[in-house]
Amino acid sequence: MDNSKLIETVKKRAQSWLDGNYDDATKAEVRQLMSNEEAMIEAFYKDLEFGTGGLRGIMGAGTNRMNIYTVGMATQGYSNYLKKCFAHKKQIKIAIAYDCRNRSPLYARTAAGIFSGNGFHIYLFESLRPTPELSFAIRHFGCQGGIVITASHNPKEYNGFKAYWEDGGQIIAPHDHNIIEGVNQISSIEEVKYNGPENNIKLIGKEIDNIYLGKIHELSLSPEAIKENSEMKIVYTPIHGTGVELVPKVLQKFGFTNIINVPEQDVVDGNFPTVVSPNPEESAALKMALEKANLLDAELVMATDPDADRVGIAVRDLSNEFIILNGNQTGSLLVYYLLTRWAELGLLKGKEYVCKTIVTSELIADISNKFGVEYFDVLTGFKYIADIIKQNEGNKKFIGGGEESYGYLAGEFVRDKDAVMSCALIAETAAWARSKGKSLFELLIDIYLEFDFYKESLENIVRKGKSGAEEIQEMMNGFRNNPPKSLGNSEIMKIHDYLSQKSFDLQTGKESSLPLPKSNVLQFFLKNGSKISVRPSGTEPKIKFYMSVKMPLPHKEDFSKAGKQLDGKILAIKKDLGIL
C-alpha cells in the first residue's frame, strides 16, 4: 500500500471512531491524533493483535492501541469462546486481577462489566494484585477462565491483557488459536456487551491473600534455619508494582524479621518514576535497592517486576561485593535447595519431577539427575510448564522449576511463575546456606564444584519494522539451512530444530523426532558441553541468542580464573555466530 492510500485508509478508520458510539474523551483524543499524521497512522494503521498470550500495546485511542474498546472486543471474543466450551456449565466463572499500570483498574472493570453482560459470575480483585495470585484465584474458585491486566516489565506507555484457562495456566493450543479466531470475528464495538449487571461481580481481596500466603508458607522446608537466621538483612523493592504488600507479608510469615524496604519504590505508580525500565533483569532497576543494601550491610537484595511474577536478586560475592545473579543461577540454586531438602526430609518417593524451558541451563538437569528426579524440558513460556503440571496431575508431583528469564515456581497450587513465592523460597535458601556457614554465592560455587561451572550469556539483536522482521527471518533461515560446523573452536555434535521437530546427530547422520510442539527455535550442542539456542522473540522485534558454556571447577580458588576462561568461550562463540 502506497503512502497516500495508507493515509486515506487511516483517516477513514479514525473518522469511523468520530462517527461511532465512542465516548467523548476518546473522540477528543482522535481529533487530536488527526492533526498529527504520523501519530494518527501509528494509532489506526492496523488492529492491535490478539496473540497467543492476549493483548499488549501502547495505551491510547485507536485500533492499534490499548483502550476500553480494544479490550472490550478482546473480552467479548474470549467470552464467546468460553460459552462454546462450557455450554454444559450452569454458571461460567471468571477471575480478574490487575497491576499498577496506568488505566489497569479501568480496563479490569471494563472487562468485568462485559463478562457480566455475557452472564458470567466474576471474582474481581478489589485492588492491584500479583499475576500469580490471579492463577491461584482461578483454581480456588473453580473458574473456567480469567484475565490479568498487565504489560509485565514493558515501558510505562504499555498495558496488556493476558488470558488464562480453568487450570490456572495461560492459554495454550488449541484454545489460544481458537480464542484468537473468536476475537478476530468481533468486527464492531456494537457486538460487545458492555455494562453487565453489577450483581454478577464479586469483589475479592484480603481473604484470598491470606489463603494464598498460607499455601506458600506450606512450601517451607527449613523453619529451623529461618529461626536461626531470622534477623538476616533483606532489602526488597517492588519497583512501584504489585509486590509491595504481599512480598513483605510472606517474608514475615516465613519468619524473617529484618526486611528493609526502599520507600521511594514502595509508591504504587504506573509511571515508574525512579527507573527507566521496571525490569529486574536490568541492573539499573536494582540500583536504589543495592545502594540501601550497601549502606545497611544487608545480605540479600530482591526486586520484583510490576506484576510480581518475576524476581531478580543480588548477593554478595567472595569479595563481599554485590553482584546480580542471572536467572539460570537463581533457578539452579532454588532447584538444588528444594531437591536437597526433599531428599533430607524423606519426601522423594520416585514420582516427583522438575521442569525447565529448553533455553534454561542444563545445570538444572544435572542436579535433577543426581537426585534421581525426573525432569521435563518445555518450549519457552511458563504456560508450557503449567501444561506439564496439568498432564501429570494426580500421578506425579511437581517440586519446582522455572525459566532463565527470572521466573520460578514450586508446588502445584499456582500455575504461572510466582515472584511472591520465589522471594520467600530464595530467602529461605539463603537462611539454610547461612545455617551451614555459607553465603548464597558460596552455595552456588559449591554447586559448580559438584556439577561443573556453568556460565550463560544472552545476546539480543534488535531489528525493528517490516524490514527488521524479514532480516530476523533471514538470519534464522541461514542458521537452519547452512548451520555452522563448529562454534568457539568446539565441534557441533547435535542440532535440534523445533520448527521441523527434528533432532540431527551430526556424528551418526541419524535423525530423530523431537516431542515438543513446533516452534521457531534452533539449538546447537557442542562437543565441549556448550549449548547455543537461537530464536526470534515472540513479543519484541529481536532475535535472541542464548549461550551456555561449562567446564569443571576443581577448587574454589579456581573460580575467578575459570570464569574468565568461560567468558573467552562465550566471546569466541559470539564471533563465530557473527553477533559481535
Alpha-carbon distance 170 to 200, whole Å? 24
The closest alpha carbon to 191, from 117, 110, 103, belongs to 117
With beta carbons less than 8 A apart as the criterion, state whether 440 and 428 touch: no
Half-sphere exposure of residue 299: CA atoms within 13 angstroms, side-chain side: 21
Question: What are the residues whose beta carbons fall under 8 Å from the beta carbon of 21, sequence distance 6 or more?
Answer: 189, 190
Alpha-carbon distance 75 to 60, whole Å? 18
Residue 485: how many CB atoms within 10 A of its CB? 8
Length of the chain: 580
Alpha-carbon distance 139 to 378, whole Å? 23
With beta carbons less than 8 A apart as the criterion, state whether 64 and 46 touch: yes
The closest alpha carbon to 415, from 235, 167, 249, belongs to 167
Give how far the C-alpha of residue 169 lies from the chain's centroid of Cα atoms, to the nearest Å: 12
φ/ψ (deg, to 5) at 181 = -60, -40
Does 174 sit behind a cis peptide bond, omega within 30 degrees of 0 on the bond before it?
A: yes
Q: Which residue is catalytic, options 79, 104, 116, 152?
A: 152
Alpha-carbon distance 365 to 356, whole Å? 8
Question: What are the residues whose beta carbons fall under 8 Å from the beta carbon of 571, sequence distance 6 or more?
Answer: 580
The closest alpha carbon to 400, from 435, 430, 426, belongs to 426
With beta carbons less than 8 A apart as the criterion, state whether 99 and 242 touch: yes
The label of the residue with cell 543461577 reads: 329
**Residue 152 known to be catalytic:** yes
Alpha-carbon distance 61 to 500, whole Å? 41
Residue 188: how many CB atoms within 10 A of its CB? 11
Q: What is the DSSP string of 186-237?
A: ---GGGS--S--GGGEEEE-HHHHHHHHHHHHTT---HHHHHHTTT--EEEE
The label of the residue with cell 519494522 reads: 465
Alpha-carbon distance 401 to 382, whole Å? 10
With beta carbons less than 8 A apart as the criterion, state whether 327 and 403 touch: yes
* Helix pair 68-85, 175-184: axis angle to 10 deg: 130
Alpha-carbon distance 415 to 411, whole Å? 9
Alpha helices in 86-222 (DSSP H): 104-117, 131-140, 175-184, 206-217
Question: What are the residues whose beta carbons fall under 8 Å from the beta carbon of 290, sequence distance 6 or more?
Answer: 235, 301, 314, 322
Q: Which amino acid belongs to residue 354?
A: V
With beta carbons less than 8 A apart as the criterion, state whether 125 and 412 touch: no
Residues serving a catalytic function are 152
